[in-house]
Amino acid sequence: MSWTDIAALDDIPLRGARIVKTHAGCVAVFRTDENEVYAVSDTCPHKGGPLSEGIVHGKKVTCPLHNWVFSLETGEAQGADEGQIATYSVRVENGRVLMDLSQISKVAA
């Protein structure tokens, strides 16, 4: 594990997301209504829609292009759609969001 400070919690809108650019593509960092933070791939496996622009409801996000819904906890597509997005370890400490970049370096390498 290598925890890297990526942002203040308040940089991420409540029920919204911001993206982090990495060697392995964009990662979307979400903040739910209850202040839980999740990091998943920003790219919808269907047609590549930017998930960070989706509507966040409960612990799920809806892709803005064609309404695929993904669990932010497991990365699994919900309902009739089949697909999976990568999830990354992220945690909040003293109002800062920390992400485990070692997972991404592995992907990139």
Partner 1 sequence: MTQKLVVIGAGMASGRALEHLFEANADWDVTLFNAEPRGNYNRIMLSPVLSGEKTYQDIVTHDEAWYEANGVDCHFGTRVTEIDRAAKIVRADDGSEVTYDKLLFGTGSNPFIIPMPGHDLEGVIAYRDLEDTERMMNMPAGSKVVVIGGGLLGLEAAAGMAARGVEVTVVHIMGHLMERQLDEPAGYLLRKALMDKGITVKCKANSKEILGEDGKVRALLLDDGTELPCDLLVMAVGIRPNTKLAADCGLAVGRGIHVDDQMVTSDPDVLAVGECVEHNGAIFGLVAPLYDQAKVVAKTLMGEEAAFQPREISTKLKVTGCDLFSAGDFADGADREDIVFRDPARGVYKRLVIQDNKIIGAVMYGDTADGNWFYGMLKDGTDIAEMRETLIFGPAYQGGAASDPMAAVAALPADAEICGCNGVCKGQIVDAINAGAHDLGAIRATTKASASCGTCTGLVEQVLAVTLGDDFVMPSVPSVCGCTDLSHEDVRRLIKSQELKSQQAVWQELGWKTVNGCHVCRPAINYYLLADWPIEYQDDPQSRFVNERNHANIQKDGTYSVVPRMWGGITTPNELRAIADVADKYKVPTVKVTGGQRIDLLGVKKEDLPAVWYDLNQAGMVSGHAYSKGLRTVKTCVGKDHCRFGTQDSTGLGIKLEKLLWGSWTPHKVKLGISGCPRNCAEATCKDVGIVCVDSGYEVSVAGAAGMDVRETELLAKVATEEEAIAVTTAFIQIYRENAKYLDRGYKWVAKVGLDWVKEQVVDDLANRQALVDRFELSQTIYRKDPWADLAQPQKAERFAPVADFTMEAAE
Under the rule (CB under 8 A), what is the footprint of partner 1?
4, 6-7, 11-16, 18-23, 26, 29, 33-36, 38, 47-50, 53-58, 60, 62, 64-65, 67, 69, 73, 101, 104-105, 108-109
Q: How far is the CB of 71 from partner 1 (least distance, A)?
A: 10
Distance CA(54)–CA(78), nearest Å, equals 14
Contact 30, 56 (CB under 8 A): yes
User: What is the nearest approach in angstroms of partner 1 to the Cβ of residue 82?
Assistant: 19
Minimum distance, C-beta of residue 103 to partner 1, in the bound complex (Å): 12
Least Cβ distance, residue 50 to partner 1 (angstroms): 5
The token duo for 21 is 């650019």
Residues 6+ apart with CB under 8 A from 66: 44, 46, 47, 49
Q: Closer CB to partner 1, residue 13 or residue 82?
A: 13
Whether the CB-CB separation of 87 and 40 falls below 8 Å is answered with yes
The residue among 1 and 109 lying less far from partner 1, judged by its C-beta, is 109
Instruction: Please tell me what DSSP assigns to residue 104.
Output: H
